[in-house]
Amino acid sequence: MKEMLDGFFGESPEFWIGKVVSIDAQKQTAQGFSWGWRYKVRIFGTYSNSDTIEDADCHTAMVMLGVTDGSGGGGRTRAVRITQHDIVFGLFMAPDQNFPVIMGVLGRTKKTRNFGGKFGILSGFTKFLQRGLTENQEFNECDSVNVPKVLEKSTTGTGTGKQVNQTQLSNIGQSGEPKVNSIKNPPGNKEYDTTGLDKNDIDLAVKEEKEFLKANNVNYENSKIINETNNE
């Protein structure tokens, strides 16, 4: 076993814990202009509160996906749910602290507090990840999560901005009144595709239609086949 480790990790795997830096310091990866799922991480011990290294110059770590996440093969994928200021756990896949890989994320709790400095834990919300129906919830623990609700001053469910445009409906021959079968076919719409049929084929279909309607005492005016093919 030791020989296998020496051949890949050296004497032993080197694990680490770090903090995902601000999204502003990794805009390229945050906006999808990069390969894989990668985040810049300020690693405890490798960096310190007193160093002069900017967030943008910290290690870029790739995420190791779980077996239920999918690799992308066969269209099987799940998005990674890591955001700025998360505490992540990982290992270096190469010697001298190279090729860091994120293996997991430590869940935030209700008691998570910012202790300041470069390793301080701040909000995970960004301009790309806005607050939703659970408002300011930023924890993931066995305690109950916030119940989704309509936010204050929200227009959800009020119909605001969803008024019926009567002018546009009228232009296509429709009515906004709630009636059964009130939706008419747009002008030029056809239910029967006659592409590839010659006149003999169409005439035969019309003949059969007329015979059927006559046998059932139905007026030809209601026949869509006859009306669409302009036969009488």
How do residues 157-174 score in pLDDT, each as one tens digit? 666 666 777 787 777 767
- Classified as helix, coil or strand, 112 is coil
Amino acid at 92: F
The fold of 2-106 is: OB fold (Dihydrolipoamide Acetyltransferase, E2P) (2.40.50)
Residue 15: the pLDDT is 95
pLDDT band at 200 (very low <50, low <70, confident <90, very high): confident
C-alpha to C-alpha distance for 38 and 31, rounded to whole angstroms: 11
C-alpha to C-alpha distance for 210 and 214, rounded to whole angstroms: 6
CB atoms within 10 A of CB 210: 17
Does 17 score more than 70 pLDDT? yes
Residue 102: the pLDDT is 97
Does 5 score more than 60 pLDDT? no
For 63-72, 110-119, 172-181, which range has the lowest pLDDT when averaged over its residues? 172-181
Handedness of CA 180, 181, 183, 184 (dihedral sign): negative
Does 134 score more than 70 pLDDT? no
Handedness of CA 82, 87, 93, 95 (dihedral sign): positive
| pLDDT tens column, 37-93 | 999 999 999 999 889 999 999 999 999 999 999 899 998 889 888 888 899 999 999
pLDDT band at 206 (very low <50, low <70, confident <90, very high): confident
- The CATH 2.40.50.260 domain(s) of the chain lie at 2-106
> Tokens for 146?
């916030």
Question: Any idea how long the chain is?
Answer: 232
For 103-107, 124-128, 193-197, which range has the lowest pLDDT when averaged over its residues? 193-197
